[in-house]
C-alpha cells in the first residue's frame, strides 16, 4: 500500500466524543466516503478476475482495509496509487494461495461472511478471525448452507473463529436463506462460483443485490431479481473498472442531522440509491422530512443521485416492517430522529438489529433513555416517544453506527453529551469527526 493510504488508515477514530447542542444550521455540500458493501465485493471479485481491475471511490475504512489485507495474504497484489483508488491484480478463480496465518476480518461481518463462502471453494484451509464484537456474532447462518453445498467449516458454537477446510467439492442446488441477509445470500453465491452445476438462492424478503450486480459487471453469467439469484459454477470473471458510489448509510447521519437542525439546507452529491438501501428515505418522508433527489444517473451498475435535505419538523409513525431489510443499517439513526420527533414511532420487524456490531436496539434505547427519551424495547424493535433530550454520558459500545447516531441526537439535546467508545467509526466512515467539524458541528474528540 502507498504511504498516503497507510497514513489514512492510522488516523484513529477518536475514543470518546463530546457533542454539544447545534449552534448553527448545516449548510453547503458534502461528499461522504464510498459504499462499504460495494467496496468489499469489488475487492473480492477483482481478486478472482483474470488481470488488473481498478476500483475508484473505494472506502478507506477499517472494514474494507481488513478485506484488502486478507486478499494480499492470499497472494493478491493490490496497489493503492491514490486514496480511494485500488488496482487489484486478479489471480483468476483458482489462483489464490493459502495463508498459514489467521485471516483477520476485524469488525467486519460482511468481510467474514462473504469470505467464508469464497474460501469454502479453495483447495487450502483458512482460519477467519475477528475482533471482540465480530467474535460474538452468529455465523451458523452461513455455515449451514455452505455445509449443505459440501463445505466444511468448523467453529465453536457457530461463532468465529471459522476454520474453513479446503479441497471439498461443492454442489450447486437450491438454498433458501434462513434470515433476510445479503451477507448470507452472497456467501452462497460466492461458493456457487466454485460449485458443480447451478446454485440458486431464494430469500423470504429481498436484500441488497450488490453481489449479483457486480458478478454481472465482471462478466459472470447470472440471473436475478428481488429475492432470488441463480448462477452456474466454473465460469470466469473478467477484470473491469468499478466506480463505488458514496455510501447511503453514511449519508444517512447527515440527512437526519440536517433534518433536525433548524435552518439547515445540505447537499450530498453522488450517493448510492440502490432501492434495497434507501428505505430510510421513505420512512423519513412519511415522518415529514424534506428530502429531494435530483440528477439520478447510473454509475457502473448502480443508480446514484444527489440529495438535498432541508430542515423539517418530524412526527412519529408506525414503521412498516416491509422496509426493515432496506434500511437495516439506518435504524440507529432513525431511533435518534424518532426521539426528536413529535409523537410516537413504532419499529417492528427489526430483530436482526440485536446481532449487529452490537445489540443496536438495547444500545440505542439505553443511551437515548439516559438523555431523557422515553423508549420501550420490544424483541424486534422499539416504541419511541419523541420529546426533549438532555445532556449526559452515553456509551456507543464500540458500535460505529450507534456512535454517529448518538452524535446526531446530541445536536438536539439541551446540554453537551459525552459519547464513549467511538473509535470504530473508522470502520465505515473514516474522517467523520473532521467532516462534522468542517460543517460546523460542535463535536470534540477527547484525547
Active site residues: 329
Minimum distance from residue 41 beta carbon to ligand S3P (Å): 7
Minimum distance from residue 393 beta carbon to ligand S3P (Å): 27
Q: Choose between 16 and 326: whose C-beta lies nearer to ligand S3P.
A: 326
Q: Choose between 186 and 345: whose C-beta lies nearer to ligand S3P.
A: 186
Specify whether the CB–CB gap between 346 and 378 falls below 8 A.
no
Minimum distance from residue 357 beta carbon to ligand S3P (Å): 9
Q: Choose between 186 and 199: whose C-beta lies nearer to ligand S3P.
A: 186
Closest C-alpha among 65, 162, 72 to residue 116: 162
**Phi and psi for 381 in degrees, rounded to 5?**
170, -145
Residues forming contacts to ligand S3P in the complex (CB under 6 A) are 37, 110, 181-183, 186, 208, 328-329, 352
Minimum distance from residue 292 beta carbon to ligand S3P (Å): 26
List CB contacts of 376: < 8 A, sequence separation 6 or more.
365, 382, 383
Amino acid at each position: 500500500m502507498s504511504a498516503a493510504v497507510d497514513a489514512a488508515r492510522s488516523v484513529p477514530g477518536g475514543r470518546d466524543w463530546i457533542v454539544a447542542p447545534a449552534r448553527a444550521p448545516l449548510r453547503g455540500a458534502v461528499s461522504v466516503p464510498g459504499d462499504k458493501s460495494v467496496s468489499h465485493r469489488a475487492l473480492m471479485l477483482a481478486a478472482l478476475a483474470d488481470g488488473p481491475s481498478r476500483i475508484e471511490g473505494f472506502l478507506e475504512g477499517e472494514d474494507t482495509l481488513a478485506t484488502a489485507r486478507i486478499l494480499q495474504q492470499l497472494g493478491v497484489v493490490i496497489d493503492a496509487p491514490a486514496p480511494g483508488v485500488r488496482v487489484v491484480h486478479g489471480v483468476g478463480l483458482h489462483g489464490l494461495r493459502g495463508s498459514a496465518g489467521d485471516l483477520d476480518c476485524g469488525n467486519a461481518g460482511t468481510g467474514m461472511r462473504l469470505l467464508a463462502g469464497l474460501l469454502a471453494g479453495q483447495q487450502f484451509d483458512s482460519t477467519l478471525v475477528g475482533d471482540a464484537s465480530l467474535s460474538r456474532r452468529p455465523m451458523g447462518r452461513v455455515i449451514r448452507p455452505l455445509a449443505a453445498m459440501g463445505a466444511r467449516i468448523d467453529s465453536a458454537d457457530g461463532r468465529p473463529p471459522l476454520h474453513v477446510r479446503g479441497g471439498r467439492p461443492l454442489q450447486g442446488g437450491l438454498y433458501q436463506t434462513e434470515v433476510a441477509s445479503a451477507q448470507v445470500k452472497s456467501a452462497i453465491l460466492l461458493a456457487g462460483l466454485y460449485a458443480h452445476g447451478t446454485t440458486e438462492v431464494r430469500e423470504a424478503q429481498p436484500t441488497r443485490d450488490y453481489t449479483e450486480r457486480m458478478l454481472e459487471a465482471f462478466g459472470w453469467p447470472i440471473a436475478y431479481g428481488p429475492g432470488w439469484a441463480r448462477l452456474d459454477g466454473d465460469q470466469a470473471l473478467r477484470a473491469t473498472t468499478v466506480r463505488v458510489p458514496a455510501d447511503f448509510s453514511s449519508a444517512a447521519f447527515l440527512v437526519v442531522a440536517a433534518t433536525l437542525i433548524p435552518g439547515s439546507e445540505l447537499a450530498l452529491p453522488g450517493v448510492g440509491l440502490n432501492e434495497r438501501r434507501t428505505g430510510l428515505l421513505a420512512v423519513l418522508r412519511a415522518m415529514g422530512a424534506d428530502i429531494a433527489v435530483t440528477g439520478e444517473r447510473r454509475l457502473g451498475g448502480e443508480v446514484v443521485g444527489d440529495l438535498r435535505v432541508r430542515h423539517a419538523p418530524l412526527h412519529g409513525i408506525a414503521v412498516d416492517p416491509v422496509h426493515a431489510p432496506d434500511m437495516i443499517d439506518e435504524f440507529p439513526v432513525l431511533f435518534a430522529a424518532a426521539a426528536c420527533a413529535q409523537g410516537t414511532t413504532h419499529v417492528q420487524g427489526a430483530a436482526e438489529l440485536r446481532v449487529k456490531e452490537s445489540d443496536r436496539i438495547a444500545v440505542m434505547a439505553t443511551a437515548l433513555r439516559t438523555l431523557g427519551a422515553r423508549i420501550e424495547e420490544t424483541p424486534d424493535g422499539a416504541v419511541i416517544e419523541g420529546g426533549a433530550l438532555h445532556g449526559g454520558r452515553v456509551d456507543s459500545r464500540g458500535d460505529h453506527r450507534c456512535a454517529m447516531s448518538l452524535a446526531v441526537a446530541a445536536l438536539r439535546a439541551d446540554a453537551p453529551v459525552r459519547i464513549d467508545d467511538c473509535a470504530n467509526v473508522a470502520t465505515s466512515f473514516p474522517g467523520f469527526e473532521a467532516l462534522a467539524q468542517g460543517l460546523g458541528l460542535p463535536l470534540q474528540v477527547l484525547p
